[in-house]
Structure 1
Amino acid sequence: MFLDLTLIGLVTTLEPVPIVVFILLLAGERGLFQGLVFTLAWLASIVAVLALTVGLTGGKPLLPHSSPSTAAIAVKLAVGVGLIFVGERKRRRRHRSPDTHRTPAWMARLETASAWTVAGISVIVQPMALVAAGAAVVTEAHVSSLSSYLLLFYFCVLSTASLLTMELWSAFAPERAGHLLHGLRTWIERHQDQAIIVLSLLLGLWLVGKSIDQLVT
């Protein structure tokens, strides 16, 4: 379970679109505040999903080969298949045409967005399918000991690590962070498709393989 949550958390925190949105927020006059709102809304969404999952299961692992257990595995399988589809589709499109990403018009208005709008955008751009996959993994755990709660905390922090890093960096070294984050944004916009292809295919294949193995054993 640790490896599953680690892979899902890494892909969640490295998703290109939320990172670009976050960098744009930090570039505004109220950058640190808006970045904090975005981060807290992002983290709150993950915590809410995990809390709901633990509440529904009572903190006990689902019985193997039961209907709820099969449903949880099906969720992971569906997310894996979806990721493979997205990655392969991006790969084929990229061969037909080069990356020509432009910043959408709504992103240009982020600097003046209200706190509620920023929080809503955070939830919208968050890869909830990955969070759902993480929740499906949690249904296999016995959540009662300190180590199990630390594992959930680890997943939450790892899934938010990129945002926390950029927020803290901007707070303690604003000039250097601003320069380097601008370069990071430019790099992501040039290589967004490649990043999505690699992240989607790797995690998708892992989830599909693991889910099929659980279904047949």
Structure 2
Amino acid sequence: MVLDLLLIGTAIALGPLHNTAFILLLSAHRGVRKGLAFVLSWLACLVVLIACVLLLTGGRPLVHRSAPSTAALAVKLVLGIGMVVYGERKRRRGSRPRTSPEWMARLDSASGWTAAGLGVLLQPWGLVTAGAATVVRANLSSAASYVALVGYCLLATSTLLAMELLVTFRPGAAQARLGGLRTWIDGHQDQAVVSLSLGLGLWLMGRSIFDLVS
């Protein structure tokens, strides 16, 4: 479980779409407040989803080869296949000139509530669902599970937290650094999506198949 959550959390943190939108929010008027609203709603979404899963499992790992355990593995397998198919199709199309969506141009005038809503809407829900399907193996009688779950939430939020702290405590340096980061993301977004989709998708497929047949 720990390795799966580590890989999924890393993939979530590196997702280009929400990081680009977050940089634009931070660059807007009252960007620190809007960024904080985004981060809190993003983190709350992860925590609430994990809490729901733990309520369903009672905080105990699902019995191996039981119907719920098999269903969770099947979900991860389907998600893995979907990521691989998406990543391969995107790789074959190659990189194309990109234009920012129209809604990103309106982030400068977005309210704090809008920023909070984006923190939920821009979650990479395929990856978040894979994380939830992994949490069914958590055992709350073990301190290691608590550490793994907290670490997963913080890891998945790490890039957002780092940018928020940079803008809060180093506003002068933040503008240039975040501008450079956005330029890099815009130039490498397709490659990042392909790498994350294929890498994590293959891992989820292989791990799910192994657990299903073992």
What is the TM-score normalised by the length of structure 2? 0.97
2:167 corresponding residue in structure 1: 170
Could you list the runs of 5+ residues in structure 1 that have no partner in the other structure? none
Q: Which amino acid aligns with 1:150?
A: V
Segment of structure 1 superposing worse, 138-147 or 177-186: 138-147
Normalising by structure 1, what TM-score?
0.96
Name the residue aligned to 1:152.
149
**1:44-78 CA-partner distances (Å, limit 9, x unpaired):** 11001100000000001111111100010011111
Aligned to 1:51: 51
Q: Deviations over 1:149-203 (max 9, x none)?
A: 1211000000000000000011111121110111110111111000000011000
* Counterpart in the other structure of 1:32: 32
Residues in 1 aligned to 2:16 and 2:5: alpha-carbon distance in whole angstroms: 19
In the TM superposition, what is the alpha-carbon distance from 1:136 to its structure 2 partner?
A: 1.1
> Is the 1:87–1:200 Cα contact (8 Å) retained in structure 2?
yes
> Which aligned segments of 4 or more residues in structure 1 are displaced greater than 6 angstroms?
none
- The letter for the 1-side match of 2:73 is I
Give the alignment partner of residue 136 of structure 2, picking from 122, 134, 139.
139
Q: Cα distance, 1:117 vs. partner?
A: 1.4
Shifted more, 82-91 versus 46-55: the winner is: 82-91
Unmatched runs of 5 consecutive residues or more in structure 2: none
Equivalent-residue separation in structure 2 for 1:168 and 1:181 (angstroms)? 12
Of all paired residues, the percent bearing the same amino acid is 53
SS in 1 for 2:158: helix
Please tell me whether the aligned partners of residues 99 and 190 of structure 1 are also in contact (alpha carbons under 8 angstroms).
no
Deviation of 1:144 (Å): 2.2
- Paired residue total: 214
Deviation of the 1:115 alpha carbon: 1.6
In structure 1, how many angstroms separate the alpha carbons of the residues matched to 2:167 and 2:102? Answer: 24
- Structure 2: distance between partners of 1:85 and 1:171: 40
Q: Which moved more, 1:55-64 or 1:74-83?
A: 74-83
Q: Establish whether residue 105 from structure 1 lines up as the match of residue 102 from structure 2.
A: yes
Aligned to 2:16: 16
Distance in structure 2 (CA, Å) of the matches to 1:86 and 1:103: 21
Distance 2:93 2:98 in 1: 13
The CA RMSD measured in Å over matched residues stands at: 0.9
CA distance in structure 1 between the aligned counterparts of 2:127 and 2:100, rounded to whole angstroms: 24
What secondary structure does 2:42 align onto? helix
Question: What is the SS of the residue equivalent to 1:109?
Answer: helix
